[in-house]
Structure 1
């Protein structure tokens, strides 16, 4: 603006120009300024601007002054590979939807923000360390196509960009980082001519960034959080026992209470929580608090509301918006419960009808809240061990002739999600985008509906293990017979049934064998065909036949070499997740998922970089 006449630019008087300028500043102030950056550019530009400055070579830069040796090392450094194969391939236009359509100062370059998110996980940096790396680490500068130092970045830019991604996904269901991953995967597959027809898949638990709370600690935590959010003058009007709890600092009640004190204290906390919910549900400024929602959810998940004891005076306040401190009112039932007149209604030690009853532990759903610090995390118990958090499902190529192994998909869900359900998210996309035809899995992915989907999309599933108990060795397998679909062409002894039936709706297969064939058969005792009065018969569901055929293929020595390719899935999980610990540093499903996507892109880049360096050195990298 300093090099041009304002009158010429705007065509307006100084007063009119100043009005336009003030309007521009107001637009900027109402926007998320931390995503923009201070600039001397005019205000007549859209807030979203593509970043093509990295394509313009600097006349003078430290790179040009490097000797030939270091310059060659830089050309083969991961940061140079990152710039070429990640940074330069990011489609910034996809992120246009995150920014205002009005005119304001332009955004911090999107390809830089996305790349920095990937580098954060690639190098294991905190946001503070990432900021310093952006300013002073030439590796990071080189990865972003920068040849010099000089520009700054606001620390809140990282968190605000993540927040916008999260809010946009919650509002629209569109996952912009997932789109970056898929574009990156497709680019690498095409660039390095990777055969993705054979892939292996595995899942792993991601421990949540939360403390595992006991039942009494969970209820105490959400109750205390709500009391902490109330104004001091409001807390002062509450019953004395609730005021005392509001001042409690140590909520680890499991360790401070005697065993016989835990249950009474738990019931007291639940009663106080119910009292608070009923007291403040009509006070909008309190009922809209996140801590109020957490208290409501925990009591809904942990308790039954039993009796409906209405008191017309209980919903009234004292006229100044403060809640009365009277006796606990009845808690309106959300489920079927007994009325106060029911002679079978449950009562407490004093004979009063209970308003609320705790559920048994086995009645509480696995998706119930585990800790208010992360309301998305769920509970899972496997092999006698408890897990709180999430689950990741990852697939990669495993053809040994490929230049390197390419991660083709990464999904994150709550840890009580079935493996087959996670696989279903990729059934339609992977064959179409990557050419997947053969998928190596373990027995946890056996899922009737998903197997049908895989078959309809041309995916052959190869299982390296099956759930359930293996049949006794002496018993003849259904796969020992010859089958044409659901029709038996010959039993294990070579005879064909004289009558067969298949019920499509239920998948039931049945048939009858002539007694003259079966009476003298040496395998009759161990055969799946059973003797009747006038004939022998069999009957089972089609899925049982599929499992028998699957087990036969697994036991075939000729297939072992192919199935053994799945063993590398364990190293995949270690490379992506467990090298820096099993616990995530993030809370919330979307944040954990976005971090996983960034890790997957970084892992693919490292593999591609190792391949390029091996190729330069004349070595063969592992496909």
Structure 2
């Protein structure tokens, strides 16, 4: 299939829309479809996706890429299935107008158009590591920021835990499923001689009998038996089945769930020894485990960065990873993605995103990282007043202004031990806060440069300016709720990191599109209320709206 650009960007003289009666035209031109056609659709860069298709012009041309991307956004916007989306495009003139397909004699979509396009995107990402859809959603967001005239100097960030659609499994279920899947694969090849004494796994009732129908005290013995079967399979199959995903999952689950004791027997690991990145379900091997805010989560995590000011907010950057990925790591990656800013930029997040390394990295890129709190042990603000000469490895002054008579520095830990006159510390009102300890003849205090930095940062957070900035972060906390309630992010009908990220990207795009369309509609209503537009024929009402907006 060859790539061709979509030439149907404007109404033609033979366009079916022009044959509609005036009443129908009016409804379309005052609906969401007009805003989508004039603002959203032109923002889609179809050339970005040319790499998905052949350069051979003699082959059949592709479906219009911008129409397909636009359709997938509308699918999320209106919470439709693929079949419902296709029916809407075929039967609803608003969808056709929004996607600029009213000039087509037949709508350029079939029941497989959308699934095939998603498959192309997935395979390209697997092959190259480049996520074209992610790039496109962020590029469109930048267009929306300019359209809404949002100042890009303030950004806020939050994360959302995304549940996998796969079933939650016990250790026994995970191991049993991996063994059973491998045995079924071997059975399909006809090499049943390799399955001696394990044929019962092919019985439909064996799973329930092994996992659910026996007493709890038998679990350990059943688990040991399944582990023994798994090891037998691995020893028998080896190279012949090595490349199969079922074999790789079986090897993985044995490495993660078992260990060898002093007698050389393979036994189950202690539960505390199993890492969060271990296999949670063979049907979704990318999903990981994480406990956050007292809740257990199995699946993935999304990170959202909003650009915000009084004109509105748009999600201009996002990321998606296994849920063992920390907020602090997301913060570092976001700062690196933003890069060096020409003007001072403020990035607001909660305490989980902060670290001295992230604050320093942000400062290097002309970004001020503002968090609502500090993670880890909170230092006393008074410790920010310690003066340290990092070149001489010496504490110059304590918070009370006293100069230590001796400083020892420990390279391995970065710890300074400052010895002070006992009399100056004994009655000092700051002694309890700075952490000075009294001895028989002297006093000493232990401090690190990192503690001084954290205390200085905490001092900034307590200022009125920083408190007002941290209040702006509250708005981004509504995004996880919107993604769950309106866009059903926890019930995506796909599994795997890359496939679920594709759906997540479209949901993020739909949120941005809805915000733009809402602003466009509000602007249109305000203009019509003023009586500045009474009718429209050739002149697009949206061109008028945009001109008035710029003016």
SS at match of 1:55: coil
Give the direction of change, closer, same or farther, for the CA distance of 1:397–1:488 in structure 2 (3 Å limit): farther
* Farther-moved stretch of structure 1 (481-490 vs 197-206): 481-490
1:134 matched residue in structure 2: 89
In 2, the alpha carbon distance for the partners of 1:240 and 1:59 equals 71
2:37 matched residue in structure 1: 83
Asked if residue 293 in structure 1 is aligned to residue 201 in structure 2, the reply is no
Asked if residue 370 in structure 1 is aligned to residue 280 in structure 2, the reply is yes
The answer on whether the counterparts of 1:427 and 1:453 sit within 8 Å (CA) in structure 2 is yes
Measured after TM superposition, the shift of residue 370 of structure 1 is: 0.8
In 1, the alpha carbon distance for the partners of 2:177 and 2:340 equals 48
Q: 1:156-195 counterparts in 2 under 5 A?
A: 156-195=112-151
TM-score, with length taken from structure 2: 0.86
Measured after TM superposition, the shift of residue 63 of structure 1 is: 4.7
Asked if residue 269 in structure 1 is aligned to residue 226 in structure 2, the reply is yes
In 1, the alpha carbon distance for the partners of 2:388 and 2:345 equals 23
1:245 matched residue in structure 2: 201
Give the direction of change, closer, same or farther, for the CA distance of 1:132–1:211 in structure 2 (3 Å limit): same
The answer on whether the counterparts of 2:183 and 2:195 sit within 8 Å (CA) in structure 1 is no
Residue 307 of structure 2 is aligned with which of 397, 415, 428? 397
Residue 184 of structure 2 is aligned with which of 201, 206, 228? 228
Residue 345 of structure 1 is aligned with which of 263, 269, 290? 263
1:260 matched residue in structure 2: 217
Residue 207 of structure 1 is aligned with which of 144, 151, 163? 163
Asked if residue 406 in structure 1 is aligned to residue 324 in structure 2, the reply is no
The answer on whether the counterparts of 1:304 and 1:357 sit within 8 Å (CA) in structure 2 is yes
Measured after TM superposition, the shift of residue 235 of structure 1 is: 6.1
Give the direction of change, closer, same or farther, for the CA distance of 1:523–1:422 in structure 2 (3 Å limit): closer
In 1, the alpha carbon distance for the partners of 2:395 and 2:263 equals 60
Structure index of larger Rg: 1
Measured after TM superposition, the shift of residue 522 of structure 1 is: 3.3
Give the direction of change, closer, same or farther, for the CA distance of 1:207–1:272 in structure 2 (3 Å limit): same
In 2, the alpha carbon distance for the partners of 1:454 and 1:420 equals 12
In 1, the alpha carbon distance for the partners of 2:282 and 2:117 equals 24
Measured after TM superposition, the shift of residue 177 of structure 1 is: 0.9
2:427 matched residue in structure 1: 520
Give the direction of change, closer, same or farther, for the CA distance of 1:361–1:434 in structure 2 (3 Å limit): farther
SS at match of 2:60: coil
Asked if residue 357 in structure 1 is aligned to residue 273 in structure 2, the reply is no
Give the direction of change, closer, same or farther, for the CA distance of 1:490–1:237 in structure 2 (3 Å limit): closer
In 1, the alpha carbon distance for the partners of 2:485 and 2:411 equals 46
Measured after TM superposition, the shift of residue 591 of structure 1 is: 1.4
SS at match of 2:446: strand
2:383 matched residue in structure 1: 478
Instruction: Report Cα offsets for 1:240-259 as digits up to 9, x if no partner.
Output: 54111211346354432211
In 2, the alpha carbon distance for the partners of 1:572 and 1:303 equals 40
Superposed CA RMSD in Å reads 2.9
1:444 matched residue in structure 2: 352
The answer on whether the counterparts of 1:196 and 1:434 sit within 8 Å (CA) in structure 2 is no
The answer on whether the counterparts of 1:186 and 1:434 sit within 8 Å (CA) in structure 2 is no
1:6 matched residue in structure 2: none
2:53 matched residue in structure 1: 99
The answer on whether the counterparts of 2:89 and 2:96 sit within 8 Å (CA) in structure 1 is yes
Measured after TM superposition, the shift of residue 158 of structure 1 is: 1.7
Instruction: Report Cα offsets for 1:263-289 as digits up to 9, x if no partner.
Output: 111111111121122212233xx4433
Measured after TM superposition, the shift of residue 497 of structure 1 is: 5.0
Give the direction of change, closer, same or farther, for the CA distance of 1:577–1:82 in structure 2 (3 Å limit): farther
Measured after TM superposition, the shift of residue 157 of structure 1 is: 2.5
1:51 matched residue in structure 2: 6
In 1, the alpha carbon distance for the partners of 2:464 and 2:355 equals 25
1:540 matched residue in structure 2: 447
2:501 matched residue in structure 1: 593
Measured after TM superposition, the shift of residue 484 of structure 1 is: 8.2
SS at match of 1:169: helix
SS at match of 1:274: helix
Measured after TM superposition, the shift of residue 71 of structure 1 is: 3.7
1:316 matched residue in structure 2: none
Is there any run of 5+ residues in structure 1 with no aligned partner, and where? 1-35, 37-46, 307-343, 347-353
The answer on whether the counterparts of 1:206 and 1:584 sit within 8 Å (CA) in structure 2 is no
The answer on whether the counterparts of 1:197 and 1:434 sit within 8 Å (CA) in structure 2 is no
Asked if residue 428 in structure 1 is aligned to residue 336 in structure 2, the reply is yes
The answer on whether the counterparts of 2:348 and 2:369 sit within 8 Å (CA) in structure 1 is yes
Measured after TM superposition, the shift of residue 184 of structure 1 is: 0.7
Aligned positions, number: 520
Measured after TM superposition, the shift of residue 230 of structure 1 is: 2.7
Give the direction of change, closer, same or farther, for the CA distance of 1:503–1:409 in structure 2 (3 Å limit): farther
The answer on whether the counterparts of 2:291 and 2:297 sit within 8 Å (CA) in structure 1 is yes
Residue 101 of structure 2 is aligned with which of 133, 136, 146? 146
The answer on whether the counterparts of 1:396 and 1:408 sit within 8 Å (CA) in structure 2 is yes
Measured after TM superposition, the shift of residue 51 of structure 1 is: 0.8
In 2, the alpha carbon distance for the partners of 1:496 and 1:269 equals 68
The answer on whether the counterparts of 2:341 and 2:367 sit within 8 Å (CA) in structure 1 is no
Residue 65 of structure 1 is aligned with which of 17, 20, 41? 20
Asked if residue 122 in structure 1 is aligned to residue 77 in structure 2, the reply is yes
